[in-house]
Structure 1
Amino acid sequence: MSVRLIVRTFSELCITVGALIILFVVYVLFWTGVKAAGATEGQIDGLQDRWARGAVSAPAPAVSPSSSPTTDAPASTAPAPAAYPDGKAFAMLYIPRLGKGWEWPILENTKVRTLQKGLGHYRGTASLGATGNFAVAGHRRTYGDPFKDFPKLRPGDAVIVTDGTTWFTYRIDKKPYRTVPSDTGVIDPVPRKSGFDGPGRYLTLTTCDPEWGSSHRLIAWAHLDETRPVTDGRPAAFHS
């Protein structure tokens, strides 16, 4: 094989690899955003339509779990957390700090497919406005980049959520906390490292870190500051 043929073959291989890399980058930066925009708009439209018809996605009644016949563990006496319809949107979340038009639907569960349509509520955590920890996850990058500016969150920032009947205004308590994915205590009813010292009505937001990686997580904790019926209009926190 001549040197010229080797060089030409190597050059063609480099061009092919380069084209594949470009296509992948376009997919990650552009196409996932296009898909997310369509999916998110569909979720928002569906929510608004249901709310216009007076239909609100309320959590299912809590059921106390029974012990398995194959285990010696006693049955829990505490009721299980209520659950929203799996994979369905049930609320809208707004963070004025992240932009005037920043709004995302919250769906039940944090599966990959769910987070391609909006934010995901961690199953088993508290329902919206209830005592405990209402925990929500979202992509930092790709699929619309919902939490791209997560590090900008500061103490006192409003996180506003509505289920179609009530506005719930939470307030961020401290700057985002960085931890590892295995640190599940951050979504406990009284989240560890949050500074909260007892039961309350909390909200936790989680996303990946670094911006284009997933080796760590960024966490923001908030407490419920105010509730008001949607018939009273938007909370003042939208303008603060």
Structure 2
Amino acid sequence: MILSRVAPAALAGVVAAFVAGCAGPGADGTADLSAASSAAAPASTAASPSTQNTPGEAGPAAVPPPASPTPKADPRTETAVLSIPAIGLEDLRVVPYEGTTDDWPGTRIQNRGVAASPYGERGGVGPGEVGNYLVTAHRLSAGGPLRDLPALEKGESVFVAAGGSVYEYVITETRQTSFRSERSLAEQRAAVPGHPGERPTKAMITVSTCATPEDDAAGNFWRDDKGNPEHRIDKIGVLREVSRR
């Protein structure tokens, strides 16, 4: 108990004060109640078993505040890697950006010899997400990473590695997009490719490149301000399997 630690002389003074019925006068003539009230604190509050520790006994461990949850990364903003074994394409970097297919930001990314993936209000989703994952790259310039995309056939696989997972899409159809038709562009960028306004229920992919040789062969030499020909060749796929890297 705390009182056991008080010097005997001091304890005797405290007891004498209580026998007299009040504390002695202070230096200014007023009663000094603080010492008496402190010394008279009941033992149950001065040395409560629930709050006092015996010498050498550790106190209760402090409980740390709960850790803040780590924000989940947005799949749309993660750089991915595209591989299409059927056309000999391996590990093509896919750089995400906020915008639409083949706009200026997307064209500048493609000019670096990599693929671009738009997302946002008029763009697509991320790898493996329900909706339309859009990937575009050059066919002739900047190394022509998608030079052989037109040869990709129905039933062949497209692999996208991102965020520790590999997403395998299987090609289901080939579409053509016209840069001179807003309707055609809307169909390419739709959440369900070819069906603007339709609610998606599957994870899909559109891999797109220019149809420059085909347009030129047909005598169509139209170009937009970025040098794109009128038509794009789009390979559409549906997610078949997800595996860990």
Aligned to 1:114: 109
Counting only pairs closer than 5 Å after superposition, residues 41-190 of structure 1 correspond to structure 2 as: 58-59=73-74, 83-84=76-77, 90-99=79-88, 102-109=90-97, 110=102, 111=105, 112-117=107-112, 118-124=114-120, 125-174=124-173, 176-181=174-179, 182=181, 183-184=184-185, 185-190=187-192
Kindly tell me the number of residue pairs found equivalent between the two proteins: 145
- DSSP 3-state at the match of 2:119: coil
TM-fit CA distance, 1:103: 2.6
Deviates more, 1:211-220 or 1:127-136: 211-220
Query: Which structure would you say has the larger Rg?
Result: 2
**Per-residue displacement from partner, 1:21-73 (whole Å, max 9, x unpaired)?**
xxxxxxxxxxxxxxxxxxxxxxxxxxxxxxxxxxxx932xxxxxxxxxxxxxx
The 1:193/1:218 distance shift into structure 2, 3 A limit, reads: farther
- DSSP 3-state at the match of 1:173: strand
Aligned partner letter, 2:238: H
Deviates more, 1:125-134 or 1:109-118: 109-118
Q: How big is the alpha-carbon RMSD for the aligned residues of Structure 1 and Structure 2? A: 2.5
Moved over 6 A (4+): none
- Cα distance between partner residues in 2 of 1:163 and 1:178: 27
Aligned to 2:229: 214
- DSSP 3-state at the match of 1:172: strand
TM-score, L = length of structure 2: 0.54
Q: Which of 187, 190, 193 is matched with 1:191 structurally? A: 193
- Cα distance between partner residues in 2 of 1:189 and 1:95: 22
TM-score, L = length of structure 1: 0.55
Q: Percent identity?
A: 25
**Per-residue displacement from partner, 1:103-148 (whole Å, max 9, x unpaired)?**
3100013522211230000222111101111111111111010111
Structure 2 portions without partners, runs of 5+: 1-71, 217-227
* Structure having the larger proportion of residues in helix: 1
Aligned partner letter, 1:120: A
Aligned partner letter, 1:224: L
Aligned to 1:49: none
Structure 1 portions without partners, runs of 5+: 1-56, 60-81, 231-240
CA contact (8 A) 1:189 1:199 kept: no
The 1:221/1:148 distance shift into structure 2, 3 A limit, reads: same
- Cα distance between partner residues in 2 of 1:150 and 1:91: 18
Aligned to 2:203: 201
The 1:164/1:126 distance shift into structure 2, 3 A limit, reads: closer
CA contact (8 A) 2:191 2:199 kept: no
- DSSP 3-state at the match of 1:113: helix
CA contact (8 A) 1:131 1:202 kept: yes
TM-fit CA distance, 1:178: 2.0
Aligned partner letter, 2:166: W
